A and B are shown apart, each in its own frame.
Chain A
Amino acid sequence: MKKGVPLFITFISGFILIVALFIPHEPFGSLQERFNDWYIIVSGFTLILGIDSLLAYHYRKIKRKEKEAPYSFALLLTFIITLLWGIYSGIKHGNPFAPTSTFLRYFYTYVFVPLQATMFSLLAFFIASAAYRAFRARGLNATLLLISAGIVMLGRVPKGEDFSPYFIAVTFILIAIVCILEALPRISIYERVLFFGLAIISLILIFPIGIFLKTKLPLLSDWIMNVPQLGAKRGLFIGISLGAIAMALRIILGIERTYLK
């Protein structure tokens, strides 16, 4: 009974919504609207539930005098200040976000926005550092990813094509050096010729590829975005959607019950 009622409600709700998608006429059409209304109301209450959970979690941390208690105290304090200031501005100006409201002008514009923007902008520094550390040509797949990333990074910014010949020159000179280093210790004459040949080809390719990228880099970048990238994305989307449908059916049919725990 304890599990039977929620499972029955889930089954009926899911079933009606699926039927309403294909039969938008009465009585299913209006039922769908009613379900949507309930969903909006329940979503509103989940915000309250979230606040309750957050406050209870941090209150417990303060009560137990845990190591992170000062941060929890800061959170509770700022929560109370935000709430009281918002209510005060709401009463005074009719809305906490009214253009004349001090809550909007001082708290939101000068405290909240810079804090949130700062947190996110730190990403630029971490990405630069992480790209340098992690983007290594460890194998064929990693090298292909590296080349595509380089093309897209330069192809999507203005004047990127002007920089591309220099990158090509450096990269191919490096390949030539690696080939020469590879050739020197070889005893077999064929292997030596092969690696020296590869080094010469790399050096010869600098000019045509550099010229090609200087004129066609944005097109190449667009091609990567529109063909291989899109193909991979579509595959992912189809996989995710099939997974979501399977999960939804499992929940509606009562096979998946973890949400009841």
Chain B
Amino acid sequence: MKEFFEKISKIDRRIIYLLVFISITIPLLIKKGFEFEALPEVKNAYEFIEKLPTGSRVLISIDYDAASMPELQPLLEVMLVHLFKKDLKVIMMGHWPLGLPLGQIALEKIAKEMKKEYGRDYVFLGYRPGIAAVMLNMGKEIRMVFDVDYKGTPIDSLPLMKNVHNYNDIALLIGFEAGAVGDYWVQFAQARYGQKIILTSTAVVAPDLYPYFQAKQIEGLIGGLRGAADYENLLKRRGFAYSGMTAQTIIHVIILIFIIIGNIGFIALRRIK
């Protein structure tokens, strides 16, 4: 009996890896999902965007890189679809230089799909170093930080940017966060300039952002793949995030089963000793 409990409390990690691999890949390949209700914080974000008047300008900040791409890229794409569908104007920038091209790829892809024109419907500003200083200067005059777009075109020559000077001219800021930049947006853009913000983040960052949502400092919070799946559901455009939730459900269940097995072995061995 002791040997059995020792065995179950020390399962070979390769068996765990194999089960994790199978339980992630099969649901992703089958692409079948469950039905579920959207989280209230995601509903808030969706409804806030729904209520924005046509033509409002939305600033998107890309603050993640390829490591967080599976969680945030599907959400970025579905949110861009929503924004363009509502005929809102998108201004994109970012604080993570290595992830910025991901934003650009998604923007170009969705803009092409929705037949939107660069300079009139969307603009890509790029990256400037100095997170807090960039945010503070944008509150005074965006041209102090971005006088040209990523191609080097002066922003005054872009119709979308003509009357955009600071946060007063931006209806909403959406931050895609894989680190602490979301805190800076709340501290500098919201607290100081009253900018309306929706934060989206990886699941691991989301608990850090809940205090801002509960304190009504942000209009909505979309965390992790679940948030992205909720948004896809709300927009009735199911994609990678939705099918990814099946994999996430199965992997959570498997991890819990392993935790229970490990604890059975642990408790039993403690008693035997």
Q: What A residues does B264 contact at CB under 8 A?
A: 174
Query: How many chain A residues touch B (Cβ–Cβ < 8 Å)?
Result: 65
Interface membership of A10, Cβ < 8 A? no
By the criterion CB–CB under 8 Å, are A125 and B20 in contact? yes
Of A43, A137, A156, which one neighbours B266 at CB under 8 angstroms? Answer: A137
Stretch at the interface among A109-117, A187-195, A245-253: A109-117
By the criterion CB–CB under 8 Å, are A117 and B66 in contact? yes
Interface membership of B26, Cβ < 8 A? no
**Interface size classification for chain B:** 35 or more
By the criterion CB–CB under 8 Å, are A36 and B16 in contact? no
By the criterion CB–CB under 8 Å, are A157 and B259 in contact? no
Stretch at the interface among A63-71, A73-81, A200-208, A226-234: A226-234
A109→B99 CA distance, assembly (Å): 11
By the criterion CB–CB under 8 Å, are B251 and A117 in contact? no
Interface membership of B4, Cβ < 8 A? no
Closest beta carbon of chain B to A10's beta carbon, Å: 17
A158→B260 CA distance, assembly (Å): 21
Contact flags (1/0) for B13-52 with A, using CB distance below 8 Å? 1001101110010000000011111011000000000000
Interface membership of B173, Cβ < 8 A? no
By the criterion CB–CB under 8 Å, are A97 and B101 in contact? yes
Closest beta carbon of chain A to B36's beta carbon, Å: 4
By the criterion CB–CB under 8 Å, are A33 and B256 in contact? no
Closest beta carbon of chain A to B12's beta carbon, Å: 10
By the criterion CB–CB under 8 Å, are B211 and A160 in contact? no
Interface membership of A128, Cβ < 8 A? yes
Q: A36-B137, A108-B101 are in contact. Are A237 and B211 (CB under 8 A)?
A: yes
Interface membership of B248, Cβ < 8 A? yes
Contact flags (1/0) for A166-204 with B, using CB distance below 8 Å? 010011001000100100000000000000000000000
By the criterion CB–CB under 8 Å, are A132 and B67 in contact? no
Q: What A residues does B106 contact at CB under 8 A?
A: none
By the criterion CB–CB under 8 Å, are B129 and A44 in contact? yes
Residue of B nearest to A117 (CB): B66
Report A30-46 residues with CB < 8 Å from chain B CB: 32-33, 35-37, 39-40, 42-44, 46
Closest beta carbon of chain A to B226's beta carbon, Å: 6
Stretch at the interface among B80-88, B143-151, B164-172: B143-151
Of A97, A109, A135, A137, which one neighbours B150 at CB under 8 angstroms? Answer: A97
Closest beta carbon of chain A to B253's beta carbon, Å: 5
By the criterion CB–CB under 8 Å, are A104 and B101 in contact? yes
Closest beta carbon of chain A to B105's beta carbon, Å: 8
A32→B139 CA distance, assembly (Å): 12
Q: A47-B129, A136-B263, A158-B249 are in contact. Are A113 and B66 (CB under 8 A)?
A: yes
Of B70, B129, B151, B263, which one neighbours A40 at CB under 8 angstroms? Answer: B129
Interface membership of A141, Cβ < 8 A? no
By the criterion CB–CB under 8 Å, are B67 and A120 in contact? yes
Q: What B residues does A233 contact at CB under 8 A?
A: 207-208, 210-211
Q: From B17, B140, B263, name the one whose CB has the most chain A CB atoms within 10 angstroms.
A: B263
Q: What B residues does A258 contact at CB under 8 A?
A: none
Q: What B residues does A218 contact at CB under 8 A?
A: 37
By the criterion CB–CB under 8 Å, are B137 and A113 in contact? no
Interface membership of B158, Cβ < 8 A? no
A137→B248 CA distance, assembly (Å): 24
Q: What A residues does B140 contact at CB under 8 A?
A: 33
Closest beta carbon of chain B to A34's beta carbon, Å: 10
Interface membership of B245, Cβ < 8 A? yes
Q: What B residues does A178 contact at CB under 8 A?
A: 267, 271
A104→B98 CA distance, assembly (Å): 12
Interface membership of B133, Cβ < 8 A? yes
A73→B256 CA distance, assembly (Å): 43
Closest beta carbon of chain A to B106's beta carbon, Å: 12
Stretch at the interface among A1-9, A53-61, A146-154: A146-154
By the criterion CB–CB under 8 Å, are B68 and A120 in contact? yes
What residues of chain A have their CB less than 8 Å away from a CB belonging to chain B?
32-33, 35-37, 39-40, 42-44, 46-47, 94-95, 97-99, 104, 108-109, 112-117, 119-121, 124-125, 127-129, 131-133, 135-137, 146, 150, 153-154, 156-160, 163, 167, 170-171, 174, 178, 181, 218, 222, 225-226, 229-230, 233-234, 237
